[in-house]
Amino acid sequence: MLFMTDIIFESNKGIVFERMTYKNSRCKLSVRKKETNQSLMFYRYKNVPSYQSTYLNWENLNCCGGWTYDETYLYTAVQEEKKLYSNIVFTIVNEDYAKQYKQCDFHTEKTVSSILSKLKSELPDDCVMGFEGEDKKGYERIFRSLFICKKGTLNDFYNIDDILRSYKQFGVIIDDAEKHRIRELSDMPLEYFGRDDFVYKYHQPELGSQLIITGLLLGYPIESTVGLIERHHDFEVKK
């Protein structure tokens, strides 16, 4: 039976995160378009306290790529202590193509150069900026992937033991081998995640432990990661 409904985040693009809390101590977080009420995604999890950090928030989850979001948020989120790692993909086209498709989030080489120059000149000393691999070419467009991250490791910004305890509260059972993998990746410099030759591709998590690392890196609330693990991944979850 439904107990309470509340809006926990609403984006400037009309995307609403609505949490429904039930009397059976479960929650459902629905992501929907405000204008059409179209459902885009949902997460189910236990109604228990979650690990709190300034780097874990629903605004970061809004940038997960499943719907329209304001990419300019990612230009400054790391610098403003909202997340540890931002990935920004520029879709670059020629000027005529950009003029023809003004409604799309296209850039020209000139606008990308201007954005990069501004970001570089304003980058704080505690941040790193670089490119994730080489440009990728598509039909009449180029995809260029930029990252901005904090200097340091996940372990410098989170208490990993407390995070593992939080997952346990949510009912996620993590064995010792997976805990070891999580701790190993948590000790890696954040800028390594942007390297082509790094052992772990954060944007392609295959195991529950990898999904946990991706969530911490990109600043997604633990509840959302629990919901994905419960639905798709290899860990046992006690409901």
**Torsion, Cα of 233, 18, 72, 144 (10° steps):** 20
Contact 216, 154 (CB under 8 A): yes
By the 10 Å C-beta count (0-12 exposed, 13-18 middle, 19+ buried), 123 is classed as: middle
Which pLDDT score, from 0 to 100, does residue 139 have? 78
Query: In whole angstroms, what is the distance from residue 122 CA to residue 125 CA?
Result: 9
Sign of the CA dihedral with 100 first, then 105, 109, and 112 last: positive
Joined tokens for residue 90: 């520029």
Query: In whole angstroms, what is the distance from residue 108 CA to residue 70 CA?
Result: 18
Query: In whole angstroms, what is the distance from residue 226 CA to residue 174 CA?
Result: 12
- H or E stretch at 181: helix 176-186
What type of residue is 36?
T
By the 10 Å C-beta count (0-12 exposed, 13-18 middle, 19+ buried), 41 is classed as: middle
**DSSP 8-state assignment for residue 66:** S
Joined tokens for residue 42: 């949902």
pTM of the model: 0.92
Per-residue pLDDT of the chain (239 residues; tens, 9 = 90+): 778 999 999 999 999 999 999 999 999 999 999 999 999 999 999 999 999 999 999 999 999 988 999 999 999 999 999 999 999 999 888 776 666 666 567 888 898 999 999 999 999 999 999 999 888 887 788 899 999 999 999 999 999 999 999 999 999 999 999 999 999 999 999 999 999 889 888 988 888 889 999 999 999 999 999 999 988 766 666 66
Nearest to 224 by CA among 200, 196, 199, 205: 205
